[in-house]
Amino acid sequence: MTRTQKTVFILVALVALILGLTLNKVLSNRSQGNPTALIDAGIILLPQSRNVPALEMTDENGQPVVLDQLKGKWSLLFFGYTFCPDICPTTLAQLRQVKSELPKEAVERLQVVLVSVDPNRDTPAQLKTYLGYFDKDFRGVTGSLEATQKLANAVSIPFIAADTSKPNYTVDHSGNLALLGPDGTQRGFIRAPFNNQKLLAQLPGLVKRD
């Protein structure tokens, strides 16, 4: 092999190596998601997943549910209540709209769960009726105030308990969502207010992860 041939061979090998590394980086970014794009969509992933406390609550069908057993799907936990005048109906309507525009495979790997911050009024029947106005597949859970506060604090979305002795009381709470992975651990947050188009661009790739 002449010097020219060796030079050409080395250059071809270098080009192949660079192309291979570039392709690997692109594929890796596609599988892991673009962190900047996720943040821009309001999706904040934790550097390490958090365990969710094993709290016993009751779902919208009156069945017992343990919160650390929300597994098999990505869960969007929204802390709200059915008598909420503004944040809750707005948030649930947006989530319904986002869900309606997601690809079928993404919808199948995602669930919305309303955690009531008003257990005094939010019975399972009340939750089921209320959530049915938005989406029949939206889930709801209610439990003791102590259990709800413990859960909210564990996923860093606290709320201020209301004075239930006052008529027509309201509950101060956040519009942020806690993001749980299919293993039941908390993976991050979705910050309010939501940008539907940016969420639609990022959620399909996110929920493909295990």
pLDDT computed for residue 5 by the predictor: 41
pLDDT computed for residue 1 by the predictor: 54
pLDDT computed for residue 68 by the predictor: 87
pLDDT computed for residue 52 by the predictor: 95
Tokens standing for residue 125: 């029947």
pLDDT computed for residue 36 by the predictor: 93
Distance between CA atoms of residues 36 and 43, nearest Å: 10
Annotated binding residues for Cu cation: 84, 88, 173
Tokens standing for residue 77: 């936990």
Distance between CA atoms of residues 131 and 82, nearest Å: 8
Domain 33-208 is found in CATH 3.40.30.10: yes
Longest CA–CA separation in the chain, Å: 93
Place of tokens 């209610």: 142
Please give the average pLDDT of every successive group of 10 residues along the chain, which has 210 residues: 42 36 38 77 96 96 92 97 97 97 97 98 98 97 97 96 94 97 97 96 94
Domain chopping of the chain, boundaries: 1-31, 33-208
Cα end-to-end span (Å), the chain: 51
The answer to whether 119 and 145 have CB atoms below 8 angstroms apart is yes
The answer to whether 76 and 112 have CB atoms below 8 angstroms apart is yes
Q: For 86, phi and psi rounded to 5 degrees?
A: -145, -65
Sign of CA pseudo-dihedral 80, 81, 86, 90: positive
Sign of CA pseudo-dihedral 8, 10, 15, 20: positive
pTM above 0.75, yes or no: yes
Annotated binding residues: 84, 88, 173
